[in-house]
Amino acid sequence: MAKKKNTLKDLDAFLKQEAKSFVQPDTVKKEVQPEAPQSITEKPVPQATAIDDNSVIEFLASKQSAQDMYSIIQNAIEKSGRTSAENKMLINTLLYLKDKDNWKENIKTYWS
C-alpha cells in the first residue's frame, strides 16, 4: 500500500530550506509584553462591532483578484503583531503567491 504524502509538511520543509539559504528572520520570542496600565487621562478605545467568520469569508471571496485577498491576509497578520513561526511561514507563502517569478527576492526584501 502506498504511503500518503503530506504536502503541507513537504511545503513547510521546502520553504524553510529555501528561506535559510538567503535570509535569517528574527527568532520568535515566547515572552509576552505586559500591557501598560491605562492612565486616567486616556479614553477607552471603542469596541469594534463583532464580525462573524462567515462575514469575513464572504468578504474575502468577493475580492476580484487573488492578489487583493493575499494583501488583506498579509496586512491582518502584520497588524496582529503575532510573530509565530506559522505566521512567518504564511507570510513567506503569500509573498511567493503574489509574485512567483521573484519570490526569493521578495522574501529577502520583506525580512530585511
Q: Where are the beta strands (DSSP E) in the chain?
A: none
CB 56 within 8 A of CB 69: no
C-alpha 27/C-alpha 92 separation (Å) is 15
pLDDT at position 2, please?
64
Residue 88's pLDDT is: 87
Q: What share of the chain in percent tops pLDDT 70?
A: 71
Minimal CA–CA distance to 90: which of 102, 99, 78? 78
Q: Annotate 53-85 with DSSP letters as a single string.
A: HHHHHHHHHT-SSHHHHHHHHHHHHHHHT---H
Q: Amino acid letter at 75?
A: N
Given the C-alpha cell 513537504, which residue does it identify? 10
| Phi-psi sector, 81: left (phi>0), alpha (psi -120 to 50), beta | left
- What confidence tens digit (pLDDT) does each residue in 53-88 have? 888 888 888 887 888 888 888 888 888 887 888 888
Residue 23 pLDDT: 61
**pLDDT for res 1:** 58
